Every structure is written in C-alpha cells, then in structure tokens.
Structure 1
Amino acid sequence: MKKFICIHGHFYQPPRENPWLEAITYQESAHPFHDWNERVHAECYAPNSQARIVDGKGDITDLVNNYSQISFDFGPTLLSWMEACAPDTYQALLNADKLSQKQFSQHGSAMAQCYSHMIMPLANKNDKYTQVYWGIRDFEFRFQRLPEGMWLPETAVDLDTLEIMADLGIKFTVLAPHQARLLMHNNATGQEFDIHKPYRIQLESGRVINVFFYNGPLSQSLAFENLLKDGKQYAEKLIHSFSGNTAEPQLLSVATDGETYGHHHKFGDMALAYTLRYIDNHPDACLTNYAEFLDNFPPKNEIQIIEKTSWSCAHGIERWKSDCGCETGGQPSWNQEWRQPLRAALDWLKGQADSIFTEVSRNRFKKPWHARNNYIDCFNGQLNIDSFLAEQSGYDMKESEKIVALKLLQMQRHAMLMYTSCGWFFNDISGIETEQILSYAGRVIQLAEELSSKKLEPKFLTLLALAKSNVPERENGAQIYKQVIKKSRMNFSTLCAHYALNRLIDLCDNKETLYSNRIELLDFHNLINHRSRMIYGTAKITSNLTLDSSQQDFCAYHFGDYKIRVFAKYSIGQEAFENAMEPVPVKFITGSSDEVLTELESIFEKECFPLNTMSKNEQKSICDAILYSAMSENDESYSRLYDSFEPLSRYFMEQGLTPPKSALTLIESILNVRLWKEVQKEEPEFHLIEKLLSEVDLHGVSLEAETLGKFIEKGVHKMAHRIVDDPDNLSMLESFETIIRLLTSMPLQFDLWQVQSLIYQVKCSNYDEVNERSQQGDGFSKKWISRFNALAHSLHIQVPQ
C-alpha cells in the first residue's frame, strides 16, 4: 500500500493595521523592512511561491510553487494585506490552489481559517458563528470555490464551533493527537489511536464533521529542531515514519506554522521544495491533501474531541486567559498574571459594545446579527455599501442613518479583531501584539461613545489597570493604553493633519485619497520662500468605511530645516478661513518663523500636530525626505571632497601604504550616499552602479550592509525586470553580470532569489532557441550565450555545459 503524505502549513500574521488608518504603519523592529508583514513575506510567503531546487553544486535547476503541493491555510486578514501589498504572491496562492485541484483529484489544497484568529472556545455564540461564516465567505470570494476544510486558530476546539462549521458545509478540520479520545462501544477511552487515518465526530445535532490528526513529535522537530537543514533528510524522515500496519491506507500528516519554511528557518522554502520533489519521485510514497484522502478513504471510526484544548498550550486554552506557565522564553522572573485582567477588560468592553449594537441597530436592520454576518460581503467589496444597506434594512436609508449603521458594523468588526490570539500569546502586556489588540479596543470605545451616551473609557481603564506589566516603566495595561493608544487615536482633524503633511512633502501629487478616506480639496494655497514652504486650504474628508465626513481647515509649515508644524481644525467656512489667513502670506515672506507660528496658533486656536503625534509612516517619510533633501543640496560639496580625497587614497595605495583613516571614512560615506540615491531611482544606471561598486572594492571601504542591502536588492530587481523586457541587450547583460559579481563578493545583507527567478525565466524563454542559433554559427547568438552563461554562473543558475 502506498504511503500517503500531507504537509500542512498554517500561514498567519496578526492583523497589524492601524484601526484609524486601515493601514500598517512603519514598524522599526522589522528593520530594514517597513513592517513585519513585509518582512515575513520577503522571507517566507514570496519565496515559497517560486522555490528554488538546486543541484549538488548549488545551481538552480528548477523553480516550483510549493503551495501547489502542500495543504495550506492563510489568515483572511493576511490575504487582504497580500492582495493590496504583494499581488504577485497573492495570485501565486490562488494559482496554487487551482494547480492542486489538477494534481489531487479536483480537491484544492487551500483550507479556510476562522476570520481573525480568535480563540473560538472563549468566544460567545454570535462571534463563533460570524468568525466561521466570515472565514468561509472570504475564502469563497478569493478562491472561487467553497472550502472543504477549515483550520481552527491555535487548533483550539469545542463542540459548539464544530457544530457551526458542519452546519456551514465544512467537511473536516485538523487537530493535534492529544485533543481527542478513541471511542470504543460508544465510550471514550484513554487508549492511543491511529493518527494515520481520519475520524468522524458525531455532533449533538446529528451532523458529522471529520477530523485529521497530524504527527505531533515530527511536526515539533520540524518547527523547532534542524529537520529542515536537509530536504532529503526531511523527506526520508517522513517516508519512514509510518506505523508497521500497512494493510489499510495510511496518511502521514505534519502541520506547523507555515512561517517555518523561510522565516523561522532560512532557506526552509528550498528544503521544502526538495522534500516535495523527492517524495513525488519516490516509488513507495505519494503526496496528497486532506480533502483528496477523505474522499478516497472515508473514516470508518468515530472519535471524541477533548474540548477546550489547543496545539500551543499544555493546559488547554489557559494561555489566552490566565498565568498558566506557557510563555515564549525570556526573563525567568516574569509572570503572565496580566492575561486574566486583560481578557476581563475586553470581555466587559465587548459586552458594552454588543449591548449598544443590539439597541441602536434594532430600528436600522431587519436582523442585526444577520446583517453583521453578511457585512463581510460589503467589506470585501462583493457588494457596494448602498446595495448592502438596502438589503439588510429593507428601506431607503438617509445618509445620516447609513453612517450610524456602518459605524455599528465597524464597531463590531473591531470588537472581534481585539480578541486576536497573539495579544495573550507572548510574555508581557507591553508587547506590540498586545498594543495592537488594545488599539482595536480604542477604536471600539471611540465608535461606541459616538453611537451612545455611554462613557466607556474610564471603566475600561480601571479594569485594564489590574493587568500589571513585568516592565516597571510600563506599569500596567491602563498606562500602556494612555502612552500608546490614546496618542494614536484619530479624529477628522488628525486625519486632515496627516493629509496636509503628505501634501507638503509631495506637492506634485494631487492626492484624492488618504488611507481609507476620500479627500475633496475645496481650497488650496502653496507658498515657497527660499527653503521654507507652506501649504494651507480647506478639504472635505469622507471615510470609505463609515461614510462619515467633515470639512477641515489646514496648514502645514516647513521652516526650511527639519522643523515642521501642522495645523488642522473643523472648518469655520471657506470665506471666514480665507479672511483669517490673509496676513499669513505676507508674514511668511517678510517676517520671522516665530511671527508666522504665532499667527497660525491664533488662527487654529493652538490645534497643532507636531511630527511625533503623526503615524510612524508620516514620521519616517518626513525624516527620509529631509535627509534626501540635505544630501541633494550637498551634492556639489560631496563631489569636491570626493575629487580631493579619492585620488589621495589611490596615491597612498600605489606607494604600498594604507590611506589615512579620515580619507577612507569620507570616501566610504560618499560612496554609500551615491549608491543609496542611485538604487532608489526608477531606472538605475547600470554603468554608474558598476563604477561605484568598483570604487568600493578598490578602496576596501564598507557598505551599510543591512540598510543599503535592501535598497540594492530592490534596485537589482528593477534591473532584472529590464533584462526580462529587453533580453537581447548585450550591454545590459554584461553590466548586470559585473554588478552581481561585485555585489555577491561584498558583505551585504540581501537576497537575490527574486533576481534569480527573473533571470531563470529569461533562460526558460530564450536560451534553447538562441543556443541553437549559436551552434549554427550566428555571431550575435554566440555573444549572447557567452554573456548569459556568465550571468547565470554569477547567479548560480544551471545552464547546459
């Protein structure tokens, strides 16, 4: 009997979006990437869509989409981010599911996932239903089919959730072996059961759902040991891990966080690709997915789940509500007593939000909770807002009623997002994961207080104060909320200040959107005086999510150095604002910056937004813009200094002497700046980059390895695209090969897998045809083969000998 193997990857990142902007803001801890989604995508999600298979010399022989041969689930909120920010990888996932259907008897490998990674046994019944329903609808919208299986967050399981899943058409889920007991003659026993086959779970309603069990020890060694060091070793381990009884078909299943393959273990994507190829070619083994195996070999036996258990807590689901002892390592003196009061505070807030939702929505929706369930179709863009509201209300709503209805639904959405499991998973309440769920709580409070007469924040903070941090300066949950969440909370004036700041640093772009808001510019003025700049005007801001809007007056003032002041407030009317601002242009041209500021503070009644009150995106953009401006302004000075010291350094080297440290430091700084500027261009100059890298090599100076590495990675990616578009350009091929050779000899931190993928595509599309012409004596083709072979050698791509 063949050995059936299913490798499952649970791919998930917590939602990281700022709830007021609906966008992820800059996360410094993810440096040199913008944020953790971007980092994990670059290290794992994207490489697995074009995984490299290499020969014994390390040269690439093939590129494969790993997702098409494994079983996988992706968090819906992560897929939303990927659709917007990493569309190529997103499309590769959708394609992988279609490819897997061809390979696995029309059964796609993608599984659904509960919407926002809430610990389901701890959720109330309404939330359980919505989480499952949203997960299914989101899956159907993206993969264009109904899911057969659904992954439970942290595999935390209870019968109520399984009932809902079965009711909504889910056929199976996946659990750890310790989460079930064998049934013998209708009695549960402690006897070990065979994990190499699926089982039925008979539910109280009479429905049935099936369950698979992954191999716990093997999955553990895969995630936390060195099993991924060698793809062949991994494959052999899987093939030889079946039980001795082979009379019946057996399925060996391993399940880990998908991030194991590249993020947690570098080159894990390549090990996985080799493993899959090895198993696929093995005479005694066969790759499958859960749905195909279930269809071919339906379960004969029943099993009983152990409710309120999970795969990542030895104490059931205590990790998400108490100090159970589960943690992620770190300070031995720390405790997690904060988990219980954190959950209690959020449970209280959720109860208040649900009460407000029930009361306020009663006269607006025919069935309020049904409307919430179906809101996923509106939020995912399957239904426009007007159609959705008309369908759910049964009447033609006024604009003000639409705003209230949408605020109610957004309040409910954020009230579920604040239960994302990562908020409790780690060691302290001061971690970014807990700050994130508290930001969702802050948005819930804001919307709830707008929709009712209740003041919820004081009581919430009282409850949150009981959650003590292990970090003395962070004190407790209430202090963290005040230090972080209150400062990031936004209203229309804050949003308008963000808009003004964006216009100030990018005047050529007539922005009509700001994150999840539409901007209608009613009046705009732009003043420039030497290095100083000012913009002011009036704008109407409308939320795409709630349709709420506000007219705002604004002004952004750049003093000419690194000082910037931004003002915004609810509009006093265009004409009144024009009159109020009348003296400002004259003072801007003739007066001091202090005089201008005094005038603006008077007009805006001190409604000033310093840069440190803006989102991290704006802070980073402004700092980068000021830095770039300073560098550009000093180009001539840099050139003069370089022209003086670079020949001096060469002269010393010609005499066999080490150049002065001061000269080398200056050369190093200027070369880093020049490279940084060049690789950021839309069309970097190949020859200039080659020249700069040659000078770095000549003088033996260092590059800013991590930061510059990422910029260079993007730059060479653009260059590779140009070769894909113009593969016959011999000059580009030659320059690009020199650049790659120089870069790979330097201690830079960058990954060339994307470039390798693009050049591999050129090989697949062009090489055989050109090589045939070359062998027939064509001169151009001979040159092309010679230069392409050199480039392929530098990129470790296998070409015919």
Structure 2
Amino acid sequence: MDRYICIHGHFYQPPRENPWLEFVEREDSAHPYHDWNERITYECYAPNGASRILNGDRHIIAIVNNYSKISFNFGPTLLGWMEKNFPWVYESLLAADQVAMKNFNGHGSAIAQVYNHVIMPLASYRDKKTQVLWGIRDFERRFKRFPEGMWLPETAVDMETLEVLAESGIKFTILAPHQAGRVRPLEGGNWVNITAASLDKKKAYLCRLPSGREIAIFFYDGPIAQDVAFGGLLQDGKLYAQRLVAAFEEEDYPQLVNVATDGETYGHHHRFGDMALAYCIYSIESQGLAKMTVYGEFLEKFPPQDEVEILENTSWSCAHGVKRWCDDCGCSTGSHPGWNQKWRRPLRQAVESLSKDVSRIYEDLSKGLLSDPWSARDDYVEVVLDRTVENVEGFFRRNAAKELAGGEKVIALKLLEMTRNAMLMFTSCGWFFDDISGIETAQIMKYAARAIQLAKEAGGRDLEGNFMHMLEEAKSNDPTAGDGRAIYERAVLPKVLDLSRVCAHGVMSSMFIDGKGNGEREIYCYRLKSLELKSLGSGKFIMNMGKASVHSTITWEEALLQFASCYIGGLQLFCGVSGYADEISYREMLKGLQIAFENHDVPDMVRKMDRHFGGRTFTLKHLFRDEQCTIVNNLVEDVLDVIMITYEELYDTHYPAMKLLNELNIPLPDAFRATVDVVLSGKLNAILESPNIDLEELAKVCGEIKEWNVAIDRHHVSRIASERVSSLLKDFKERKEDFDLIFEAGQIIELLTQINVTLDLWKAQNIYFDIVADMLRHGRPLEGNVLNAMKRLGLLLGVMFPV
C-alpha cells in the first residue's frame, strides 16, 4: 500500500512558572482547575493518552494511546512541568514513542521543538542556536534518542533557522503549504512558482541551503487542517477519516496525506476531540483505507525527489509573515473587535533592547569565570534539566575558566539564569493575543524583571529604568489597564522577591501549615533551615522568633537572616526579616519583642519590629499565592464553622414551615432558600469527603436536594465524587476480592445522577477497563450478584462488559 496518512499534533503551552519560584502558581482564570496547564492536561493531554473508541451504543470497546499512532511534539517547558505534576500522563508519551518505534520501523512518533517557542526569524543567530540545541538536549533526555524532526514555533521560518536545524543534525521540519515558494526536480530543470493550492503536499521536499547542507520539509494539507481546527471535522471521527482518504490522488505513487494542528484541538478546543481522533485512526486501520505513519518513516521509505525554496519570514498563523509578533499587522484572535495591536512593536523593541543589554553584561561579567560564555550557555540546559549539586559541579568542571570559589559560582549561575530568562521573555504568546494586558504578556514581563534583577545582583548596571520607559509606549486597549509600564508595575513588580521574602513566607506559613518551623524545609526552589526558633503564645496570639539560613537551589545564593513573626487573630499576620548582623543585636531583638509580646502590647511590638527590621515587614499579602489561599482559608475556618452551626439550627427550627411552603408549591423566601442551600450542600460535601461514605445518608441527602431543588456547586461535587469513585475502583483493583467497593462505586454514581451531577469518570473508566481485562486474562469466573454488579457498574461507566 502506497497510501499513507500522518496526523501531527503540536502540543504546547507557554511556560507559566513564577520565575522566582520555578512554580506555576494558582491561575484564577483556569477555575475550577489550579492553572491552565492542569486544565488542559485534564481536557486534552491525559485523554489522548487513553482515548476511547465507542460502539454503536456509545459504550467503550477499546482504550487507546493516540500518541502512539500520530506524530507529535510537546513543548520542552510543558514536558518539564508535566513530568513533575502529571507523571502518569508524561509516561504515556514516552511509552507511546516506544510503541511507535516498533510500529513504524524504528521511527518514533515524537519530534523535538525549539525550546521555549520563540519566533525564530525574529531571534538572533546566537539565540537560534541555543534554542535548537536546548530543544534537542531536552528531547534526548526524555525520549532517549536523537530527534529526527523539529517543530518550529508557529512554523515561522527563515533560511538561517533551517541552517541551524541542519547543522544540528535535524532531518526534517513541517511547514504550512503557503510557505513554499517554488519547486523543481532534484536532478535540475526550471523552477516552478507554486501556491498553497497548486503545491503537491503529499510528498517530502528537499531544501538545499546556502552552506551546502540540506533539510527535508513536509507541507501539511492546509484545508483539512483548517477544518480540523475550526470546522466540524472533529464532530465525527469517521467523517475525519473519510476526509483524509478523499485527499489521495488517483495516480499510483507513494502519497502522504498529512495534517498538522495545535494538539490542544483534540480535547481542549473541541471537547471529545481525542475520541474523534481515536475513531478516525481506528476507521482507517480497521478498514485498510491507508497506512498510518510518521514523518521519519515516510522520509526513509520515500526520500525527496523534488527540491523546494521556501518563502522566508513566514508562519502558519500570520498572513503578513511574522508581523503578528512585532507589529500591528491586523492579525488577532478577533475576540475584541475594534482593538488594535500597536502595543506589539514597542513591547518587542523593549525586550530586544533589554536582551542586547543582558548579552553585553553576560559577556563582560563572565570573563574569567567561564572559558567560553556562549558555549557555556548552550551547555547550561544540562543544569536546567538536572539541578542536583553533582550535576552543577560537573557543568562547572566542563565550562569554568578556572577553579571557582563559592561566591564566583553564585555570580556565574546568576549570569546564566539571567540569559535563560532573557530567552524566556521572547516566548511567542506574549504577542499573539489581542492586548498587552493579558496574562501571557505579563508572564514575559516577569521573565524580563527576573533578568533585570539578576543582572544587577551579578554586578551589572540597573536596566529597569530604561525598560519601563520603553514600555510606556505600549498602550493597552483597556483604559483601566494603562500602558506597559503600568501593567509591569501592577502585575510584575509585586512578584519580585529576594531571600528575605522567601524567609518571611517560610516563617509565616509554618505557623499554620506545617508546624512550628523547626529543621529544614523546601520552599519551591529554595531551602530554609531554621538555626534557632523561639515560639511564644498559642491559639490566636502567637509569635515565632529566631534565625535561619535561606539557600537558592537555582543560583546557590545564601543568606543568614533573623526574623520575628506575629499572629494576633483574625487575618492579622506580620513578619519582619533582616540580615543577621551579630549575636548582641540579635539577642536584644529577641528580648525586646518577648517583653512586648508577654505584655500583650501590640503597638510596642510593632514599634520594635520597625526598629529591628528597618521597616522591612511582610503581611499576608506577601505570601506566595497557593499558601496564601490555604492559610486564609484556615484562618476563616473557625468563623465558617460557627456560621454553619447557625445555619443548621435555623434549618432544624424552621424545617416544618419550609416543608409546608414547599408542599404548597410556594417559593421559599430568600432567607429560607439560602438556609436550605447551605445546609444540604454542606451535608453532601461532608458525606463525600468522609473516610467511609454512609450510603444511606447519601441517599437521604440526595433525595432532599432533589426535593428542594438545592443550588449545589456541581463542579465541586463532581470533582470530589469522581475522585472517590476512582479511588474505590483503584482499591478494588489492588485487593480484587472486596466486591463491596464495586457496589459502593455504582451507588455513588446512581445517586448523584439523580441530582444532575455529571461525574468525570475518565479515570474510573480506565481502571475498570484494566480490571475487566485482568479478569479475562486470568480466567477469573464471575457469577451471581458479583457479575450483575460488574455489569451494572460497566453500564454506569459507559464501558461495554464482555459477556
């Protein structure tokens, strides 16, 4: 069969980490999820690793890993986050590549990506090289092989970028059809100018480069990709398959119908898009319509017979080349008609100017520390991937100009981190959307702020003033947002931190989250070690004082600090931190604050903290976002308990009257309605969160909720109930004999369905499918009530139970 199909998914999210914490903090816009990475993982990345194929009755008959059947790339920064936060999804990608290598003659389904999604034609040659090398090294570490292909962000391309790819050993890349300029046979002849419509997209082309190197290029089918992303093809996997097969020509030659879209199309942008993809592949393979393949396999079987010249400075999502990332070209998401993007040019100019300043500082200050500064930056990806002390020391052995002292290593690491953040601030999403006030643009400004801070700390000049001045020219369409400088001051500067603030966070959070704060603990990418701790008071009047060391695992910077943190009830929490000067002044601080505390003299405590800490005090608003939410919730929990008791008393007292009104079909007064909603919602949550669910009580409460038409938080209930059902099935899978767990899981689903709570049963379905497969594999007989319970649960889960 010489008819091949390749479906490519470009899976990517911009780096979202707080640059000072190396952690993605809570993003309220992603609610009910913690952040957008988590949300899209649940909606897309995870489902594609275990996608469903349904029969005519819409029951699951198979669960497949789509990644093993398609070509895909994941952004390296996204994979780094996923490896830490969703290892089971991460492992499904690695496993898929291994399966693909067996199915596609040694060619894996994964290809690499330029490191942090910079628009390559707009990048300097030096940054191009580093971005490609970092993308390759990251890929090798994860997939244990060299990548054959590399995805270019937004498929933005120029000849210099292709030269870097080819020089680095990359065999091919993928472009949009309108990026081809002209073609001719490899053996020579006249060039033929082509358009996206006239280009034959069903084969590989060779691009000969000025250096004499070459690289293969695949051009995806634009109209099909457009209909996948924005049309209705993902409403029906069979229709998707038919559309792909219909693209083949009648001529008898090896043909590759290939499409490339954002991977998030399959589940995030289009719900159940992963299932449409799975069924599409199933239809193609089961009916023998074509052979699924990946680009590497097709390239090996059918090398290019034609060469192509590309149109430089073009991309797949900007009709004006690459202006979407540097100018007001007219391209936007269209979500705000009438808005302009004039802010793009001054923002680009500001970060480019900052990048040049950073490069000069790096070259000047790294002399005598690093033998070859830019080669060292290329090698620094090994540190980014593994920050263990042994690995960092190995980096210095390879790259240091001499034996470095501890302080010199700190300077060198700060300079290298400065250049890393300077690259991160060019991440394309900062310019893609409609306004400078979006979270994506604020994120690249954070990377800029971190680079500015590190430049100054390493001994360079202060770059912030000029950067902020240039941002003033970047005007938001939202008059309340102001200009780039205002956004920087409002959304970025409050995030800037030093070791004192890390210490304050650790001290304050330890008072409420993890005990008294003794010993050593990790705070994101820092280590806080308590050297002395004196605790006074209890309950709602507490003070912790002492000294501690703080160490950055990123830059190896350390500080010895003294602190005092006081909680005086309610939300009144404050902390002072300063550098440890000497033992005499330290003891004086302890003694003075202890006297004020024991006298319950809060004004005196405040005055003494101001004097000892030079006005450097912190409050709840200085806590890092996730712990801030946890601590505030803990502090108001007692108040909420009291309120809940009051509501329950009102409910019990006025139940007869409310019951009568309900029976008479008379709407409850607002006060009664609020009482019913709060009490019954609280009871439902308490039952589902209890260690052992009382099914009789759950049935009773669900009945009352249905009777009273209670306004419950269905997202919250669905989340905790879905996790509970998955947990029950996981326990059964491990114990295998406790069939009460099967009954309980089924009862929870049935009862919550009665009150219109739709559970996310994706995890439970996966586990159930494994349980049934294991039973069949080992020939375990099922009969009677157990068999009926398994069948019933399968029906509730939508999984076909084999008879």
Contact 1:181 / 1:193 at 8 angstroms: preserved in 2? Answer: no
Q: Of 374, 381, 403, which residue of structure 2 is paired with 1:396?
A: 403
Q: Amino acid of the residue matched to residue 147 of structure 1?
A: P
Q: Quick check: 1:543 aligned with 2:552?
A: yes
2:466 aligned residue: 459
Contact 2:702 / 2:755 at 8 angstroms: preserved in 1? Answer: no
2:209 aligned residue: 203
Change (3 A) 1:719 1:666: farther
1:45 aligned residue: 45
Q: Amino acid of the residue matched to residue 553 of structure 2?
A: N
SS at match of 2:306: coil
2:110 aligned residue: 110
**Residues 568-604 of structure 1, C-alpha deviation per residue, up to 9 Å, x if partnerless?**
2223346633431324345445525445434433432
| Inter-partner Cα distance in structure 2 for 1:311 and 1:304 | 17
1:4 aligned residue: 4
| Inter-partner Cα distance in structure 2 for 1:678 and 1:569 | 47
Report the Cα offset of residue 750 of structure 1: 4.9
Contact 1:61 / 1:797 at 8 angstroms: preserved in 2? Answer: yes
Farther off after superposition, 295-304 or 182-191 = 182-191
Farther off after superposition, 685-694 or 742-751 = 685-694
Change (3 A) 1:415 1:678: farther
| Inter-partner Cα distance in structure 2 for 1:531 and 1:582 | 21
Report the Cα offset of residue 530 of structure 1: 3.6
1:374 aligned residue: 379
| Inter-partner Cα distance in structure 1 for 2:138 and 2:59 | 40
2:362 aligned residue: 357
Farther off after superposition, 277-286 or 429-438 = 277-286
Report the Cα offset of residue 640 of structure 1: 4.2
**Residues 511-558 of structure 1, C-alpha deviation per residue, up to 9 Å, x if partnerless?**
611000111111123334343333332211111011011122233333
1:778 aligned residue: none
| Inter-partner Cα distance in structure 1 for 2:167 and 2:728 | 52
Contact 2:702 / 2:754 at 8 angstroms: preserved in 1? Answer: no
SS at match of 2:618: coil
TM-score (norm 2): 0.94
1:71 aligned residue: 71
SS at match of 2:511: helix
| Inter-partner Cα distance in structure 2 for 1:678 and 1:498 | 34
**Residues 279-306 of structure 1, C-alpha deviation per residue, up to 9 Å, x if partnerless?**
1112231111101111111111111111
Change (3 A) 1:439 1:183: same
SS at match of 1:225: coil
Q: Of 531, 534, 549, which residue of structure 1 is paired with 2:540?
A: 531
Q: Of 507, 519, 527, which residue of structure 1 is paired with 2:528?
A: 519
Change (3 A) 1:676 1:594: farther
Q: Quick check: 1:474 aligned with 2:509?
A: no
Q: Quick check: 1:180 aligned with 2:185?
A: no
| Inter-partner Cα distance in structure 1 for 2:93 and 2:5 | 21
SS at match of 1:582: helix
Change (3 A) 1:300 1:632: same
SS at match of 1:742: helix
Report the Cα offset of residue 772 of structure 1: 2.6
Contact 1:121 / 1:308 at 8 angstroms: preserved in 2? Answer: yes
SS at match of 1:18: coil
Q: Quick check: 1:338 aligned with 2:311?
A: no
| Inter-partner Cα distance in structure 2 for 1:149 and 1:452 | 40
| Map 1:631-646 → 2, pairs under 5 A | 631-632=640-641, 637=646, 640-645=649-654
Q: Amino acid of the residue matched to residue 193 of structure 1?
A: L
1:779 aligned residue: none
Q: Quick check: 1:784 aligned with 2:789?
A: no
Contact 1:195 / 1:214 at 8 angstroms: preserved in 2? Answer: yes
Alignment gaps of 5+ in structure 1: 775-781
Contact 2:413 / 2:554 at 8 angstroms: preserved in 1? Answer: yes
Q: Quick check: 1:254 aligned with 2:259?
A: yes
**Residues 350-396 of structure 1, C-alpha deviation per residue, up to 9 Å, x if partnerless?**
00100011111121111111110011112111861111112111532
| Inter-partner Cα distance in structure 1 for 2:584 and 2:799 | 66
2:492 aligned residue: 485
| Inter-partner Cα distance in structure 1 for 2:124 and 2:178 | 25
Q: Amino acid of the residue matched to residue 801 of structure 2?
A: V
Q: Quick check: 1:673 aligned with 2:682?
A: yes
Contact 2:183 / 2:193 at 8 angstroms: preserved in 1? Answer: no
TM-score (norm 1): 0.94
Q: Amino acid of the residue matched to residue 768 of structure 2?
A: I
| Inter-partner Cα distance in structure 1 for 2:547 and 2:278 | 56
Tell me how large the CA RMSD over aligned residues is: 2.4
Contact 1:3 / 1:251 at 8 angstroms: preserved in 2? Answer: yes
Q: Amino acid of the residue matched to residue 467 of structure 1?
A: A
Q: Quick check: 1:88 aligned with 2:88?
A: yes
Alignment gaps of 5+ in structure 2: none
Q: Quick check: 1:425 aligned with 2:432?
A: yes
| Inter-partner Cα distance in structure 1 for 2:132 and 2:600 | 63
Contact 2:71 / 2:295 at 8 angstroms: preserved in 1? Answer: yes
Report the Cα offset of residue 688 of structure 1: 5.8
Q: Amino acid of the residue matched to residue 626 of structure 1?
A: L
SS at match of 2:7: strand
Contact 2:150 / 2:173 at 8 angstroms: preserved in 1? Answer: yes
| Map 1:153-192 → 2, pairs under 5 A | 153-184=153-184, 185=188, 188-191=191-194, 192=198
The number of residues matched between the two structures is 793
| Inter-partner Cα distance in structure 2 for 1:678 and 1:416 | 50
Q: Amino acid of the residue matched to residue 712 of structure 2?
A: L
Q: Of 209, 215, 238, which residue of structure 2 is paired with 1:232?
A: 238
| Inter-partner Cα distance in structure 2 for 1:751 and 1:27 | 22
Report the Cα offset of residue 450 of structure 1: 1.6
Contact 1:646 / 1:663 at 8 angstroms: preserved in 2? Answer: no
| Inter-partner Cα distance in structure 2 for 1:656 and 1:353 | 71
1:303 aligned residue: 308
